[in-house]
Chains A and B, each alone.
Chain A
Amino acid sequence: MNTRNLGISLLAVIIAFSAWWIVSVSGAVSHLFLPTPVAVWKAFLEVINEGYKGSPLVTHIGESLKRLAIAFAIALLTAIPIGMLSGYFAKVRAFVDPFIEFYRPLPPLAYYTILVLWLGIGDSSKIALLALAAFAPLYLAVVSGVSKVPKDRINGARSLGAKDWDIFVHVIFPSTLPDLFTGIRTSIGMTYTTLVAAEMVAAVSGMGWMVLDASKFLRSDIIFVGIILMGLIAVLIDVLIRWLEYNRVPWKGKE
């Protein structure tokens, strides 16, 4: 880790924080737009101690992470095999692509009511929305990963006597790992940004819902708490994936 750059980052955060502090405390801006750091800290302690609207903060975070995790697991289990097949067999890709290309740019809120009609107001529609958001970037990354595998590598394995299945498991899959990890990171990001939308309907828990509900009552302090928490958790998730990537795909970028 480069400590000199770490210092610059820390400095930037301190400057931003001080600017926030000075501007909000000076009274130049309404606290509705920019609550003071103290007010945000108090709101944080309030949700820690009393929870928010009947559920403790841990429940809100846990519910959101649970939805994210299930949705992401579904995306992993579907996007990786379908993406591998699409990357390997052009005909499969021709079959799957139109659907992916069609739904991928759609704003989630546009089709959310349909999902609610199909799957109900419980967790299934929320998870489906998140899984759809996670699927497309992951699928595309896997497809591009497979199509990038050098032909020589496959032919080399074949000439050594490997069967199709062996090639798939021992050559293609590991070769796509670098792209897969990039896909996972984009995909988690997409899923995370859909979280608030997913918790718009019939939720009474979750970080996204907390921020939405607070906005209905103009509780800027709670909104800040929610956003800061969501941001920190997102950074933690990203760090975790990078750590996994570093451990699992040490050859990335060195081929």
Chain B
Amino acid sequence: MPANKLRRKGLLGILAIIVVLSTILSGCNSSKSGGKDKYPKEVTIGYQVIPNAELLVKTKGLAEKKFPNVKINWKAFDSGRDVNTAIAANSIDLGLAGSVPVAIGVTNKLPYQVYFLHDIIGEAESLAVRNSSGVKSVKDLAGKKVGVPFGSTAHFSLLSALKLEGLDASKVTILDLQPQDILAAWQRKDIDGAFVWNPILSKLIADDGSILVTAQQLADKGSITADVGVVRTAFANDYPNFLKDYVSVLDEAVKLYRDKPEEVAKDLAPVLSTDEKDALAQTKQLVWLTSAEQSNAKYLGSKKSESGFADVLLQTAQFLVDQKQIPSVPKLEDFQAAIRQEALKK
């Protein structure tokens, strides 16, 4: 066998890498430009199926109604990790990611800013344990197997819960599982517990599970997790009016939910692949806030320096460094700079 054929294969590989990289790079330069007052021709929104205002906006077509001349592309994502990658590759303008992926993104200087908190995770993410596993408290988890999607808000919450109870994370077998695989592993009794969100969470509870700790309880102790709306900074600079009006659409959805939660649950139920009653329960497990409420210093604040959420992101990043998930944390000012208050109603 001639050895040069093998080498030629290697050369082809390198060429392929160069082609891929140059495609990525050329993608970065194609940022759209337009008048400051106008709406863009096209907007790509990366959403996730989470029972919050943005899902309601999409389901009811509120954005299409508000912006009849803008083509709105909805792209579904399963995790904040993919949203981060999509933003980095310039493929989406607006996106929804958990506070943990956003802390990771800001640490890695992704060109995006937080413009809205889609929801504060209350009881929607919880640590469920199998009743027959005999786990009654977090401390009992020592030596047990717990599944969680790594790099998610649930992962952060699980590690926070262990830390708060003084249980060393190395004493627990923590497995990297996506939600649907958590369900599979649970049904096979491969795992004793899981920190996960709906709809999987409610399926675990229905199958001999009970809740040990909720994200709400951890938030009360200072470990807040949230689903965050992020916008590409360049897009927000080009189209400040679009962002402002989009936030008003989100506000409209929050108001709709507060006025008629049952109707909203009916709209969302098919999207969440569940029935109306369960959809209502799921929406209640998340805290929906209007933009006016978010301009409170506790959340996004009205000035860069007073945003409580920048502190949350900093703490999250600090925690991830302690867990050796990321190498280092930027300064508080960097997180404050990553919060964009202009679109909020004051």
> Which B75-116 residues have C-beta < 8 A from chain A?
81, 84-85, 88, 104-105, 107-110
Residue of B nearest to A201 (CB): B181
Q: Number of contacts between A and B (CB, 8 Å)?
A: 112
Query: Is there contact, CB below 8 Å, between B190 and A121?
Result: yes
Residue of B nearest to A115 (CB): B184
Q: Is A73 an interface residue (CB 8 A)?
A: no
Q: From residue A46, how far is it (CB to closest CB) to chain B in Å?
A: 9
Residue of B nearest to A118 (CB): B188
Cα(A201)–Cα(B147), bound, Å: 10
Query: Is there contact, CB below 8 Å, between B190 and A120?
Result: yes
Cα(A29)–Cα(B7), bound, Å: 29
Query: Is there contact, CB below 8 Å, between B18 and A16?
Result: yes
Interface range, A side: 35 or more
Query: Is there contact, CB below 8 Å, between B14 and A6?
Result: no
Cα(A29)–Cα(B21), bound, Å: 10
Classify the interface of chain B: helix, strand, loop or mixed.
helix
Residue of B nearest to A200 (CB): B178
With A33-B24, A213-B176, A216-B81 as known contacts, state yes or no: A121 contacts B191, CB within 8 Å.
Answer: yes
Cα(A218)–Cα(B175), bound, Å: 19
Q: Residue-by-residue, is A46-83 near B (CB-CB < 8 Å gives 1, otherwise 0)?
A: 00000001100000000000000000000000000000
**Total count of chain B residues near the partner, CB < 8 A:** 49
Q: Which of B48-56, B300-308, B318-326 contacts A (4 or more CB under 8 A)?
A: B318-326
Query: Is there contact, CB below 8 Å, between A120 and B188?
Result: yes
Q: Is A217 an interface residue (CB 8 A)?
A: yes
Which residue of the partner chain, among A12, A116, A120, contacts B14 with CB atoms under 8 Å?
A12
Cα(A130)–Cα(B61), bound, Å: 44
Q: From residue B110, how far is it (CB to closest CB) to chain A in Å?
A: 7
Taking CB atoms, residues of chain A closer than 8 Å to B191 are 121
Which residue of the partner chain, among B18, B104, B177, contacts A202 with CB atoms under 8 Å?
B177
Query: Is there contact, CB below 8 Å, between A235 and B151?
Result: no
Q: From residue A206, how far is it (CB to closest CB) to chain B in Å?
A: 11
Residue of B nearest to A52 (CB): B324
Q: Residue-by-residue, is A101-130 near B (CB-CB < 8 Å gives 1, otherwise 0)?
A: 000000000000100110011100000000
Q: From residue A9, how far is it (CB to closest CB) to chain B in Å?
A: 4
Which residue of the partner chain, among B1, B8, B28, B181, contacts A245 with CB atoms under 8 Å?
B1
Residue of A nearest to B169 (CB): A54
With A209-B176, A231-B13 as known contacts, state yes or no: A19 contacts B18, CB within 8 Å.
Answer: yes
With A33-B88, A242-B1 as known contacts, state yes or no: A218 contacts B185, CB within 8 Å.
Answer: no
Query: Is there contact, CB below 8 Å, between A6 and B170?
Result: no
Query: Is there contact, CB below 8 Å, between B108 and A5?
Result: no
Residue of A nearest to B89 (CB): A33
With A12-B11, A32-B110, A246-B1 as known contacts, state yes or no: A239 contacts B6, CB within 8 Å.
Answer: yes
Cα(A120)–Cα(B178), bound, Å: 14
Of B8, B28, B110, B190, most A-chain CB atoms within 10 Å? B190
Query: Is there contact, CB below 8 Å, between A5 and B175?
Result: no
Q: Residue-by-residue, is A187-209 near B (CB-CB < 8 Å gives 1, otherwise 0)?
A: 00000000000001111100001
Query: Is there contact, CB below 8 Å, between B24 and A213?
Result: no
Taking CB atoms, residues of chain A closer than 8 Å to B18 are 16, 19
Q: Residue-by-residue, is A6-43 near B (CB-CB < 8 Å gives 1, otherwise 0)?
A: 10010011001001000000000110111000000000
9 contacting pairs across A/B (C-beta < 8 A): A1-B3, A1-B4, A2-B4, A33-B28, A54-B170, A120-B185, A204-B176, A215-B81, A216-B104
Q: Identify the A interface with B (CB < 8 A).
A: 1-2, 5-6, 9, 12-13, 16, 19, 29-30, 32-34, 53-54, 113, 116-117, 120-122, 200-204, 209, 213, 215-219, 231, 235, 238-239, 242, 245-246
Q: Identify the B interface with A (CB < 8 A).
A: 1-4, 6-8, 10-11, 13-14, 17-18, 21, 24-25, 28, 81, 84-85, 88, 104-105, 107-110, 147, 150-151, 170, 174-178, 180-181, 184-185, 187-188, 190-191, 320, 324-327
Considering the complex of A and B, which 3 residue pairs feature the smallest CB-CB distances, nearest first? A216-B151, A9-B7, A5-B4
Apart from A2-B3, A121-B191, A231-B13, list 13 A-B contacts with CB within 8 A.
A12-B11, A33-B28, A116-B184, A120-B190, A121-B147, A121-B181, A122-B190, A201-B176, A202-B147, A204-B174, A218-B104, A239-B6, A242-B1
